[in-house]
Amino acid sequence: MNKLMGWLRHYVSPLFLAFLFAAFILWYIAKLSYTYSTRQNVTVEVDGVPIEVTCVVEGVGTNLFRYGAYMNKKLKVELKDLVYEVCDEEGHEGKIKINPKSLQSAIAVHLSDIKIISVDAIPEIDIPVKK
């Protein structure tokens, strides 16, 4: 390992490596100002029932980075704010199917700096018990 470090110091200046690292950081910061589309997992709590949905989101890189790094809380949505239907199929009794567009709108209210383009498949949930 010492031979490798000696060879590296002989052929590559530490000052060059410092400038290379600084250039990479500045390039990365500049790229964060662009608009990107990506898939993001979002945990939504519908009347106390947590579900995880995958959304296609679009936004400025800094907002997407901030959301991905710091957003680990659940978004609370009330069932009365969503369009849904009660399932009556065999094996699915007592379950609710939530309309993807209504959930997309409800999530968009909570994430105003990120545009929610679409919501993937939403799992069926049990009918919440009124307290």
In a domain, 58, yes or no: yes
In a domain, 131, yes or no: no
Count CB-CB contacts under 10 A for residue 22.
10
Could you tell me the residue range of the domain that residue 8 belongs to?
1-31
pLDDT of 131 reads 56
**In the chain, which stretches have pLDDT less than 70?**
69-72, 129-131
pLDDT of 36 reads 92
pLDDT in tens, 42-73: 899 988 888 999 999 999 998 888 887 666 67
Instruction: Give yes or no: residues 60 and 12 share one domain.
Output: no
Instruction: Give yes or no: residues 53 and 22 share one domain.
Output: no
> Distance between CA atoms of 116 and 96, rounded to whole angstroms?
23
Question: What is the pTM (predicted TM-score) of this model?
Answer: 0.73
CA within 13 Å, CB half, 58: 4
